[in-house]
Amino acid sequence: MARCSHQEYVVSAGRVFSSSLGGIVIIILAAVGAGIGIHFASRKSSSSNGLDSANSTLPSNSSAPTSSAVLLQDVSLTSLHWVEGDGTNQYRVYYQPPNQTSILESSWNSNTQAWTVNTIANGSVQTIRPNTPLAASAGFPNTEPKFALVTDVYFLQSTGTMVEWQNPIHGRTGVWRPENASGLFAAPNSALFAYWHQDLQAKNQTLLALFQDSPTTRAAAWCFQEREFPQPWKSTPHRALSIHPDGSSLAAAPAGDGRDLRIYLAGADDFMKQHAYNIESDVLGPAVNTPFALPPGTPLAVVTEDNRNFYAGNTRPGCTRPEISNAFLTHLILFATPDRRSLTLASWNCSRLCWQYFDMTFLALYLSQISANRPS
């Protein structure tokens, strides 16, 4: 079953703004029976927190799609993007090739404008589960921008145990090794989601991993750290969730403040649910129903869009204002239809009383052509 996730990091003038799928974004999604690679891009407007971002140049591929795309039909993907202080765009895509267990990293940057591929985890040595879910996040060690940005990739071993796989490890660039969350949590029938929020002024950070550790529970494994008082990883099961027992998709994005997320998952009724979740207090809000069918394992991703500059004067909705809830980001939720032959793009923001959505039928012909070439 294909899955995807993405994290966004913009590094500028020695600072990092970390969010899940925000600002300038790239999504790479593999749908079952389709092998789709899709790019969404937008330029990040200037934000009230004073953080700047350079314009992004997205990787491109001029070659026409071929039936070889079918090779990725059951592959999990996760990706990272950040902009370095000199304006260089960095992209990383992590995946497990078909019929293999090793984890590969495809790298691209706006200077060389070329893709390179490296194996970052040997499947046989690390006993990585075939078709493992993947998630990724990134941040500065100890919230210090003077250090190189660290990337974390999460995957499952054959036993169902989650591994946190990190590079650079203890300052050793190019070396991948297990980190603190490895071996602590079991997620035998689960998707994975990872998030790394840092406050470089207050010198604290929260590392978060979401997974389903039983048919009825979504567990939040998280680690809140301050410079003087680092804390170990711990997990909190949320048994009030109406989560699908056969393995829910998982995606999340900030609503505005990087600590305030909205989690998207498949409910026990096969429909998408949304939950508000605060990563520092570990408080989970009640389920918000949506009209969208989301069977177990449906490819799912979320990107954000900042529309604050589109409002004139005092027309900005109250819930988007800092003195109220500061939920100023619009969410664009992309997921496959139940028959896996098309994609739906839904839109949410805090001021809207109903969901807006679009059936991306322009993809139907392409998906049908790919599916027709799928090996029996």
As a whole number of angstroms, the distance between CA 265 and CA 330 comes to 18
Let me know: does 279 contact 197? Beta carbons within 8 Å.
yes
One-character DSSP codes across 43-58: PPPP-TT----PPP--
pTM: 0.77
- pLDDT value of position 64: 41
Answer yes or no: are the C-beta atoms of 51 and 201 closer than 8 Å: no
State mean pLDDT over 102-131: 93
Structure tokens of 374? 């799928």
Give me the pLDDT at residue 234, please.
84
* Mean residue pLDDT across the chain: 74
Mind listing the pLDDT tens digit for each residue in 177-206?
999 889 888 887 788 999 999 888 888 888
Quick one: which of 13, 60, 22 has its CA closest to 42? Answer: 22
Please state, in angstroms and rounded to a whole number, the distance separating the CA atoms of residues 43 and 17. 15
Class of domain 4-250+359-372: mainly beta
- For the segment 130-152, what is each residue's pLDDT rounded down to a tens digit? 989 999 999 988 888 888 899 99
Q: Are 154 and 162 in contact (CB under 8 A)?
A: yes
pLDDT above 50 (res 214): yes
What pLDDT digit, counting tens, does each position of 246-301 carry?
Answer: 888 899 999 988 889 999 999 889 999 999 998 888 888 899 999 999 998 888 88
Domain limits, the chain: 4-250+359-372
**What's the token pair of residue 174?**
């190019």
